[in-house]
Amino acid sequence: MIEKERIKHLNHIKESEGDYVLYWMQASQRLHYNHAFQYALLESERLSLPLVVYFGLMDHFPDAALRHYQFMVEGLLEVKSALSKKGIRFVVVHNSPEIGARKLSENAAVLVTDRGYLRIERDFRNRIKEKVSCPFIQVETNVVVPVDTVSQKEEYAAATIRRKIERLLPEFTHPMELGPYEVPMYSDALPVEEMLFENLAEILHDLDLDRGVLPVSHYFRGGYSEAKKHLKKFLEEKYSNFASLRNDPAVDVASNLSPYLHFGQISPLEIYLSLPLDLSENRASMVDELIVRRELAMNFVEHNPQYDTFGSISSFARDTLLIHKNDPRSYLYTKKELEESKTHDPYWNAAQSELVLKGKMHGYMRMYWGKKVIEWTASPEEAYDILVYLNNRYSLDGRDPNGYAGIAWCFGKHDRAWKEREIFGKVRYMNDKGLERKFSIGTYVKNVDALKQGEDSNG
Ligand SMILES: Cc1cc2nc3c(=O)[nH]c(=O)nc-3n(C[C@H](O)[C@H](O)[C@H](O)COP(=O)(O)OP(=O)(O)OC[C@H]3O[C@@H](n4cnc5c(N)ncnc54)[C@H](O)[C@@H]3O)c2cc1C
């Protein structure tokens, strides 16, 4: 079932002749629990036309490096193989995505796409929406509750959006099944130059991209089937301790699903529906992270045009940080020193090393990591830019609404005012004593050291 709120017509064309239905896959790089793919399949059936699935693979996607490209292409190769088993053609064009979408839409009866929320994803759609000569339909499938249905304005905090989301959840949590659709394969020539999309090494070789951040496939390999393995492990081995140990960096009870959610390789609805139907704190905690916090982040980037800069911060937090801008700092580090984990703080260094080596940092350490950069740089504006840079460059799940909202949170966004203190003003502060009091933080440092030794011995 595809709820009508997920569907939006991006132009005014109602009907058009064409040789195929075109699904422009962009933010939802999967077939399972993909309402946009399902919508396109239903259109194929209705119009008795073949379905063509298209992906535009561009060089130098902003802030993405080899690490991110490899993860994404691993997932897309799986999409291609699953489509070919269904007899559906997958076409990849080596260009900016909207260019191939527009060209292919010239012969299409309908153009369907999914919905990403970042500026660049909106720009891709906006650039062509008036130029497409067939109906152009967006189907929202990377959130449980459609963003505009939850709220038409920027929400103030998790508490304000939680009530709205909880009320709407029953309407948007229907299981989805891919029916036994029989669509003929489109085998004629297409009006674009297709990329030979078969071999991971050759695909990556042909792209012009930043190769300075190495892949981390030995920790996280891309693709739906890998996402399902993480989900299975989470449900079988971690879920029962999720609420009590989620914040503890010394143990690993997090799902590790964020890289897969970022590339749309798994759907949040599928994860939600796979949780045990119990009344436990574990379920409540996972639902709060996966839906409330995550969809608060979508609301933030949708409604706050400055989401990736210090300008996005709410006035109380911005004012208080600027009042304390010239407070003396005990330590000042450059971007390079931070990037290379060269601070006096072993816990912070471990967190940054985990990010670089593994492509993902423990969720609780992310908060500490962000707070300390505010304390150790000359201004909150500089701290903001450095955090965005490090998070986007090294994290597999970076360049995501969650990343921008997480960084903004470190600067007081979606949080309340606390007791005033130096540098932070009324913005919440975190310190190493808190880590020592709450966790076996030495174990976390040792675990990261073991990662480093593993990397060294592998050359
Ligand atoms: C400074 C900072 C930067 C961050 N950068 C990113 C980022 O680039 N990408 C990213 O996906 N998350 C980011 N987060 C949010 C959070 O830390 C990660 O989503 C989480 O650690 C991902 O690991 P997991 O999938 O194992 O999480 P789990 O604990 O297993 O949670 C399951 C899912 O819930 C969602 N979730 C969990 N915590 C949060 C949260 N605080 N806010 C929003 N959604 C959440 C994620 O989609 C996550 O995959 C950031 C947080 C901070 C403080």
Give the model confidence (pLDDT) of 327-341 as tens digits: 999 999 999 999 999
User: Quick check: 146 pLDDT over 80?
Assistant: yes
Pocket flag, ligand 1, residue 267 (CB < 6 Å) = no
Assess whether the region 1-142 and the region 306-453 belong to the same CATH fold. Answer: no
Instruction: Please compute the mean of the pLDDT values over residues 234-248 and round it to a whole number.
Output: 98
Pocket flag, ligand 1, residue 33 (CB < 6 Å) = no
**Would you say the C-alpha torsion 357, 362, 365, 366 has a positive or negative sign?**
positive
Give the model confidence (pLDDT) of 7-57 as tens digits: 999 999 999 999 999 999 999 999 999 999 999 999 999 999 999 999 999
Residue ranges of alpha helices (H) inside 184-339 are: 200-206, 224-233, 242-245, 258-262, 268-274, 281-287, 294-303, 315-323, 335-339
Pocket flag, ligand 1, residue 397 (CB < 6 Å) = yes
Q: What pLDDT was estimated at residue 428?
A: 98
Residue 195: how many CA atoms within 13 Å on its side-chain side? 27
User: Quick check: 457 pLDDT over 80?
Assistant: no
Give the model confidence (pLDDT) of 56-74 as tens digits: 999 999 999 999 999 999 9
**Would you say the C-alpha torsion 279, 282, 283, 285 has a positive or negative sign?**
positive
CA of 52 to the centre of ligand 1 (A): 33
Nearest CA to ligand 1 atom 34: 290
**Would you say the C-alpha torsion 423, 428, 432, 437 has a positive or negative sign?**
positive
Band of pLDDT at residue 319, cut at 50, 70 and 90: very high
Pocket flag, ligand 1, residue 373 (CB < 6 Å) = no
Instruction: Please compute the mean of the pLDDT values over residues 158-170 and round it to a whole number.
Output: 97
Give the model confidence (pLDDT) of 83-118 as tens digits: 999 999 999 999 999 999 999 999 999 999 999 999
Lookup: tokens for 280:
């436990």
Pocket flag, ligand 1, residue 355 (CB < 6 Å) = no
The gap from C-alpha 278 to its chain's centroid, in whole angstroms, comes to: 27
CATH 1.25.40.80 given to domain 144-178+222-303: yes
Instruction: Please compute the mean of the pLDDT values over residues 158-178 and round it to a whole number.
Output: 95
CATH number of 1-142: 3.40.50.620
CATH 1.10.3720.10 given to domain 306-453: no
Listing DSSP states for 103-120 in one string gives: HHHTTEEEEEE----SHH
Q: What pLDDT was estimated at residue 458?
A: 66
Give the model confidence (pLDDT) of 369-413 as tens digits: 999 999 999 999 999 999 999 999 999 999 999 999 999 999 999
Ligand 1 mutation target, pool 255, 258, 364, most atoms within 8 A of CB: 258
What burial letters (b/e) apply to 6-35, b meaning 16+ CB within 10 Å?
bbeebbeeeeeebebbbbbbbbbbbbbbbb
Band of pLDDT at residue 433, cut at 50, 70 and 90: very high
Kind of pairing between the strands at 51-56 and 20-24: parallel
**Would you say the C-alpha torsion 144, 148, 149, 153 has a positive or negative sign?**
positive
Q: Where are the domains of the chain?
A: 1-142, 144-178+222-303, 306-453
Band of pLDDT at residue 1, cut at 50, 70 and 90: confident
Mean pLDDT lowest among 165-174, 181-190, 351-360, 433-442:
181-190
